[in-house]
Amino acid sequence: MKIFKFGGASVKDAESVKNVSMVLQSQGFAKCLLVISAMGKTTNELEKVVELYFKKDNYQTEIEKIKRKHIEIADGLFPENHAVFAEINVFFDDIDSFLRRNKSPNYSFVYDQVVSCGEMISTKILSEYLNEIQFTNQWLDARDYIKTDNSYREGTVDWAKTEEFISTLNTEICYVTQGFIGSDDNNFTVTLGREGSDYSAAIFAYCLNAEAMTIWKDVPGVMTGDPRKFSDVSLLSNISYEEAIELAYYGASVIHPKTLQPLQQKAIPFYVKSFVDPTKEGTKVGASDKNQHEESYILKENQVLLKISTRDFSFIAEDHMSLIFGYLSKYKIKVSLMQNSAISLALCLEDKFDQVDELNDELQKIFKTKAVKNVSLFTVRNAKMDHIDKFYQEKNVLLEQISKNTVQMVTQ
């Protein structure tokens, strides 16, 4: 079975949905499972709904706006009286109904119940359209198959249960399902982290022992740098799982960091290809004697540099480190770069949930701290050390780290 994942840009309007069918035609639509993201910027728009709800502001107008967009997309795909229009209305009525009934003050819980609707609606539209043009498929609710704990907005997958449920699927037919979502033991929706649709595809690929997994994007494949941020970048046509994991960890946005390990476990080939030109080779990630180790550039923006030192003459010892990392875990803040000396610890942090101020307040009860916001982490993989000086030009470097073939610097 093949797994195909299509992101929001590939289903952003009626023409894009039609293009998905053209991609499937070029690849052969048989024995495949499609994992689909929310349409265009729907996730951002639903995040705004949650924000307005907690501010006790008029979120209903925003819901209506998002609904109209989806009706417009459906208008370009279906005849006037098609059943899909009623389905779209039901999904948006459910969002409004949930928010009217909700008593939970837990932002992350409410976020997951509301924002996940983007994927439910996009997959219903795509599944119905494909059936309409004779690409026969079955729509699946991913929450019935991907089971997680109740860590809302960053669910941890229960692999044993998930594998048990997914293995019941018929691998001789085609399915359309959602990325980004699963459910906990109480069947409440749990999202897998922002941009988690790639990870969903990898979960299905692993549990179905897929022949291959392909992510369809608006770029030719994995490049040596984001062409919007760097000049003279080129396509990496073959890279190893290890290299792809490193690139994703350092912040290469084309691959979700959690995606690769399930695929590597079962040596499932992973492709990144362009939905604009599906005939192009793209990037293959896997074991190969053609794997490249090209100099690659990654810029991770909106980071926070936090410098921590003790208030007395003691060193930053193991018990201090344990305490600090306990707080990082509590506030769901990820470390992008760490550098420690006897008397201080510098951390470059990714604060996805805007909790770094709370972390800093907590740490200041024990340590001296200094936080610098809106910094960037610039990473060069497979760096050619003979021209390392060029990386420092016109940069205010606050922290740097150099290993055998990787240069990293926090800049402002």
Residue 277 maps to a domain:
no
Residue 275 has pLDDT above 90, yes or no: yes
Which of 217, 237, 254 is the C-terminal boundary of a domain?
A: 217
Residue 194 has pLDDT above 80, yes or no: no
Same domain, 213 and 302: no
Per-residue confidence at 315, pLDDT binned at 50, 70, 90? confident
- Cα 366 to Cα 199, 270, 320, 349, 359: the distances in Å are 38, 46, 9, 19, 12
Q: For residue 181, what is the DSSP state? A: E
Average pLDDT, integer, range 262-278: 95
Residue 111 has pLDDT above 90, yes or no: yes
Same domain, 321 and 173: no
Which of 217, 252, 278 is the C-terminal boundary of a domain?
A: 217
Same domain, 204 and 319: no
Given a contact cutoff of 8 angstroms between Cβ atoms, the answer to whether 178 and 36 are in contact is yes
Same domain, 65 and 198: yes
To 10 degrees, what angle do helices 356-364 and 318-330 make? 150
Q: Rounded distance, CA 17 to CA 25, Å?
A: 13
pLDDT for 368 equals 96
Q: Which amino acid is at 75?
A: D
Residue 276 maps to a domain:
no
Mean pLDDT of the chain: 95
The strand pair at 367-381 and 406-411 is best described as antiparallel
Per-residue confidence at 326, pLDDT binned at 50, 70, 90? very high
Same domain, 300 and 206: no
Residue 89 has pLDDT above 90, yes or no: yes
- Say what percent of the chain tops pLDDT 70: 100
- Of residues 148 and 353, which shows the higher confidence score? 148
Instruction: Tell me the pLDDT tens digit for each residue of 345-392.
Output: 999 999 989 999 999 999 999 999 999 999 999 999 999 888 888 888
The strand pair at 181-183 and 189-191 is best described as antiparallel
Same domain, 166 and 314: no
Q: Rounded distance, CA 145 to CA 204, Å?
A: 9
- Can you say whether residue 157 is alpha, beta or left, with left for phi > 0 and alpha for psi between -120 and 50 degrees? beta
Q: Rounded distance, CA 347 to CA 410, Å?
A: 10
Average pLDDT, integer, range 169-189: 97
pLDDT for 334 equals 94
Per-residue confidence at 231, pLDDT binned at 50, 70, 90? confident
Same domain, 82 and 205: yes
Alpha carbons within 13 A on the beta-carbon side of 120: 23
- Say what percent of the chain tops pLDDT 90: 84
- Of residues 287 and 128, which shows the higher confidence score? 128
Residue 69 has pLDDT above 90, yes or no: yes
Residue 386 maps to a domain:
yes
Count of structural domains within the chain: 2
Strands (E), 179-221: 181-183, 189-191, 212-217
Residue 311 maps to a domain:
yes
Residue 195 has pLDDT above 80, yes or no: no
- Single out the residue of 155, 157, 123, 156 nearest to residue 140, CA to CA: 123
Q: What is the DSSP string of 320-350?
A: HHHHHHHHHHHTT-EEEEEEE-SSEEEEEEE
Which of 186, 217, 248 is the C-terminal boundary of a domain?
A: 217
Same domain, 313 and 165: no
Q: Which amino acid is at 73?
A: I
CATH of the domain at 309: 3.30.2130.10
Same domain, 95 and 196: yes
Residue 254 maps to a domain:
no
Range in 159-163, 175-179, 241-245 with the lowest mean pLDDT: 241-245
Average pLDDT, integer, range 320-337: 94
Residue 241 maps to a domain:
no
CATH of the domain at 121: 3.40.1160.10
| Domain containing residue 386 | 296-411
Residue 127 maps to a domain:
yes
Same domain, 209 and 358: no
Average pLDDT, integer, range 2-28: 96
Residue 184 maps to a domain:
yes
pLDDT for 313 equals 80
pLDDT for 405 equals 85
Per-residue confidence at 214, pLDDT binned at 50, 70, 90? very high
Per-residue confidence at 304, pLDDT binned at 50, 70, 90? very high
Average pLDDT, integer, range 179-183: 97
Same domain, 190 and 327: no
Instruction: Tell me the pLDDT tens digit for each residue of 276-303.
Output: 999 999 999 998 888 899 999 999 999 9
Same domain, 11 and 106: yes
